[in-house]
Structure 1
Amino acid sequence: MDVRRLVLGDWNPVVRDGIDVLRLLMLGGAVAYAVAGRPGAASLLAALGAVTVVARVVNLPRVYDLCLTAGMALQGFGETFGLYDEFVRFDDLVHFTLPMLTAPVVYIALARLDVVPDPRDETHLQHYVGIAVVTAALGISIGALWEIYEWRSDAWLGTALSEGNDDTNGDLVRDTLGSLVGAALLVVWARFGWGSVRRIPGVNTHEDVSA
C-alpha cells in the first residue's frame, strides 16, 4: 500500500480508510460499554456511530465524511470519557467545531435530496451567498435546538446540562461562529466544484453516483 492510498483510502470494500476505522472505534466502544454495564455510554456511542454509518451509506465526499465522523466522535468520546468535566473549555471547543463540521454536511444531505442547489452545480455570486446563508442558518438552528434539548432534559430527565443563561448564550455564540466558518468552507468547496459525493477510487475527475 503506497502513501497516497494509505492517506486517501480505498483500502478494501469493507474498511475503506481511516474514517471507517474511526467509525468502527465508535461502534466497538458502544459494544465495550454495553458489556461493562454502562448502557448510557453504550447507547450514546451507538446512536452517534449509527449516524456515521448513514454517512457512509450515502457516500459523502471524504472531507465531509471525515468532518461528520470526527464531530460525532468528539461528542461521543468527550461525553463518555468525561472530558466536559475534565477540561473547562472542552464544551466551548465542541460548540464551535460541531456546527462547523456538521452544518455543511446537512446542506450536502439536502442537496442530495434536491432541496437546495448541489455544490458542484454551475453557480454565481448570488448562489454562493445563498449556500453560505442556508448553511450558517442550519448550523445555528441545530445549536439552538440542542440548547432547547438541554433545557428540557434538565427539567424532565433530571440532567445538569444547562448551566444558566450565560452558559446558554455563550454556547449559542460559539455555535454561530462555528456555523459561519463551516458555511465559508462549503462556499470554497462549491467554488471549486468538488461536488457532494465520494469520488471513484483513484480518479479525481469523476464521481461514482449522481447527486
Structure 2
Amino acid sequence: MLRLLGLLIVPAAGAVAGWPSAAAMFLVFGGQWLLRWLAGGSLLDWTGQVLLLAAGWASAIGLYHRIEGLDLVMHAAVTGVVTGLVAVVVRSALRRRGRTGGPVTPAEAVRTLGPVICVLGLAAAGTALGVVWEVAEWWGHHEVTEEIGVGYDDTLGDLTADLVGAVTAAVVAVASVHSVRQGAR
C-alpha cells in the first residue's frame, strides 16, 4: 500500500508544486522499491518507506519552510535509512564472497575489522551519499529552479544532520551484528 501511495503521490506533487517536486517524488518511489528489493518486509523497509514519503511530501507542500528544524530531522532520519541500506548491501556482498571462496559473515567482518572501523565505514558511506544529495540540490537550484533552497547554512546543517543519522544507523547495524555474534557463543 505504501508503494502504491508513493506512485500516486508523484502526479499529486507535480500538481501541487510543479514538475521538480514530481521528479523528487519519483525518486522517493524508486527508493521505496529499492527498500523492497534489498530489505523487503523488514523494519527498515517499512520505516524507510514512511520516512521517504514524509520527506518527499513535506517538500512538495512546503513544510520545511514553515516548520523550523524539520529539514534537519528528516535529513538525519532518511540518511539513517540510507545507511541501513548500505549495511544490507555490505552484508549481502560479504555473504557472496569470502577470502577463501566461502561466505564471510557480518560477525566475522566485525570481529576482523573491529566495530569502530565498521561503524566509521558505514557512516562514511551514508554521509557520502548525503553529500551527493547536497550536490544534486545545488545543481537543481542553479539549473532547474531557485525554489530549491540552498545556501551555506542550509547545506552545512543538512550535512551535519546526515552525519548524525549515518553514525546512529551505523552503530545500530554494527551493534545488531555484535549482539547476534554474542548470542551465538
TM-score normalised according to structure 2 size:
0.76
**Candidates 75, 78, 97, aligned match of 2:58:** 78
Could you tell me which residue of structure 2 aligns to residue 156 of structure 1? 143
Could you tell me which residue of structure 1 aligns to residue 167 of structure 2? 180
- 2:13·2:60 contact (CA, 8 Å) conserved in 1? no
Does residue 96 (structure 1) correspond to residue 96 (structure 2)? The answer is: no
Question: SS of the residue aligned with 1:192?
Answer: helix
Give the Å deviation of 1:181: 0.8
Q: Give a deviation string over 1:122-166, Cα, whole Å, max 9, x none.
A: 742734223211110011111112222222222222334344222
- 2:130·2:159 contact (CA, 8 Å) conserved in 1? yes
| Unaligned runs of at least 5 residues, structure 2 | 99-103
Structure 1 pair 51/170, CA: closer, same or farther in 2 (3 Å)?
closer
**Candidates 24, 37, 42, aligned match of 1:62:** 42
- 2:3·2:49 contact (CA, 8 Å) conserved in 1? yes
Mapping for residues 100-115 of structure 1, pairs under 5 Å: 100-114=80-94
Deviates more, 1:100-109 or 1:154-163: 154-163
Work out the CA distance in 1 between the residues paired with 2:172 and 2:128. 18
Work out the CA distance in 1 between the residues paired with 2:20 and 2:150. 21
Give the Å deviation of 1:33: 4.9
Give the partner amino acid of 1:158: T
Give the Å deviation of 1:39: 4.1
Could you tell me which residue of structure 1 aligns to residue 27 of structure 2? 47
Work out the CA distance in 1 between the residues paired with 2:125 and 2:40. 18
Q: Give a deviation string over 1:77-124, Cα, whole Å, max 9, x none.
A: 111222112212111111221112221212212332348965465742
- 1:108·1:118 contact (CA, 8 Å) conserved in 2? no
TM-score normalised according to structure 1 size:
0.68
Root mean square deviation of aligned Cα: 3.0
Give the Å deviation of 1:44: 2.8
